[in-house]
Structure 1
Amino acid sequence: MRGYQFKSWIFKLREIKNFHHFLDSWTQFNSVGSFIHIFFTKNVF
């Protein structure tokens, strides 16, 4: 039982790490998208 708990704990830790990586890439993508949007809006008008 103890080994199983340890494995599930590692799996949860890995899930949290993946979630943080997903959030980081998402915020970077959003900031780049907003920058491109502002850049194009200023160039068009």
Structure 2
Amino acid sequence: MPRGWSKEKDEELRKYLIENGFWNTLENFGISEEQAIKRCEGFLKYGNKE
């Protein structure tokens, strides 16, 4: 993950993916589609702890 990645960035990414899919994650978040998929797997595996 890019330097400075945080839980807030994960939440931003999650919302972005729901609205836009995997389109343009590199430009908007600095991560590839493959990295975004791995983050999504983490969301599903660990769920929302709030």
Q: State the TM-score bracket (shorter-chain normalisation).
A: 0.3 to 0.5
Report the TM-score, using the length of structure 1 for normalisation: 0.35
Report the TM-score, using the length of structure 2 for normalisation: 0.32
Query: Which structure ranks higher in relative contact order (CA pairs < 8 Å, sequence separation ≥ 6)?
Result: 2
- Higher helix residue share: 1
